[in-house]
Every structure is written in structure tokens, then in C-alpha cells.
């Protein structure tokens, strides 16, 4: 266990006054809430993308843009599968006392799904800009989308993880009573 993991365990135990099971329940609930937010968006994007080949203007797209489109659809469909997969895992593992496995697997699936969703958003930006204003603006818009995606979804979270707001990396307690005996009557 790394020092950061040990600090996190200590924070969960004393700062939050929660057991390992309570921590797993909280992590699972938090992950489900995040998935609820992103699932709707990725499903709408996938549905939108799947209708585009049937539009009259689709045949006018440059062949290279069609390849970008196919890559974009692939990323979007796989992202949809990955972001919905934790629900299937939960159904299979329900009441099997496998919450640790479920939370860890769902975390990895969600992370991979978000990366592919980011790629699908970049591809969608390129295809739409190419269809509306041309190839060069599409490349610029795609580069801006890559920068925004990488900056906000990858660089910023890694930065915040590497450089936490305080030396322990744990949120600062606002209540002086927090500690091993927090919540207990004296």
C-alpha cells in the first residue's frame, strides 16, 4: 500500500468515520452518479452519429472525413458499451459480496469509456466542422477539442492528484473535533 493509499484509508476511517464497507458503498454510489451523467450524453451522441450516413449530405463528405466519421462512431459505440457495462457487472455480481471487485472494475471501465468518449467528441467536432466550413477549420477545431479534452479531462485531474491542496492530500477538516474519536460522546 502506498503512502497516499494509507493516508486515504486513515482519512476514511477517522475523517469520515466510515468502515471499509461504507467506503465501498460510497464509492459505488459516487461512481453510479458519475455514470448517470455521462451515459445520457454518450448515448445521445452515438444515436446522432448512427443517423448521419442516412442523411442526403453525407455522400458529399470527403473520403478522409468518412474515415474520421467511422473512427468516431467506433469510439462512441465502444464508449457507450464501456460506460453501461458496470450495470451489467452489478447484475451478475449482485449479492455475491464482490463489491471491491465491482468498484475496481467499474472504475476502470468508466475511465476507458471517458477516454473513448473524448475521442468521439473530437471526431464529431472534426466531421461537423468539415461539413460546414471546410477541411482547414475542421483541423483547427479538432486541435482545439483535443486541447480542451486533454487539458480538462487528463492534465488538470493529474495535476490536482500530483499537487494536492495540502501535504497529506486529504481535504482539510473544518471541524476541530475530527479525528479518531469524532462523533463519539465524551
Contacts of 133 (CB under 8 A, 6+ apart): none
Lookup: cell for 183 = 462523533
Closest CA to 110 of 132, 84, 83: 83
Lookup: cell for 172 = 482539510
Contacts of 55 (CB under 8 A, 6+ apart): none
* Residue 43 φ/ψ, nearest 5 degrees: -70, -40
Lookup: cell for 53 = 450516413
**Which ranges of the chain have pLDDT less than 70?**
1-15, 166-186
CA distance 131 to 55: 12
The whole-number pLDDT of residue 184 equals: 47
The whole-number pLDDT of residue 186 equals: 43
Asked if 122 contacts 142 with a C-beta cutoff of 8 angstroms, the reply is yes
CA distance 50 to 52: 6
The whole-number pLDDT of residue 171 equals: 57
CA distance 85 to 38: 13
Amino acid at each position: 500500500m502506498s503512502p497516499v493509499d494509507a493516508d486515504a484509508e486513515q482519512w476514511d476511517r477517522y475523517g469520515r468515520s466510515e468502515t471499509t464497507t461504507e467506503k465501498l458503498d460510497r464509492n459505488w454510489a459516487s461512481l453510479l452518479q458519475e455514470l448517470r451523467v455521462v451515459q445520457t450524453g454518450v448515448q445521445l451522441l452515438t444515436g446522432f452519429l448512427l443517423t448521419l450516413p442516412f442523411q442526403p449530405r453525407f455522400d458529399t463528405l470527403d473520403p478522409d472525413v468518412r474515415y474520421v466519421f467511422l473512427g468516431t462512431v467506433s469510439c462512441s459505440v465502444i464508449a457507450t458499451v464501456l460506460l453501461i457495462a458496470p450495470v451489467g457487472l452489478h447484475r451478475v455480481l449482485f449479492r455475491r459480496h464482490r463489491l471491491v471487485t465491482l468498484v475496481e472494475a467499474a472504475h476502470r471501465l468508466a475511465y476507458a469509456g471517458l477516454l473513448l468518449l473524448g475521442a468521439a467528441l473530437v471526431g464529431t467536432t472534426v466531421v461537423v466542422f468539415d461539413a460546414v466550413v471546410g477541411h482547414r477549420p475542421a483541423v483547427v477545431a479538432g486541435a482545439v477539442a483535443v486541447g480542451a479534452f486533454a487539458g480538462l479531462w487528463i492534465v488538470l485531474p493529474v495535476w490536482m492528484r500530483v499537487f494536492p491542496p495540502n501535504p497529506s492530500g486529504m481535504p482539510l477538516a473544518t471541524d476541530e473535533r475530527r479525528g479518531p474519536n469524532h462523533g463519539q460522546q465524551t
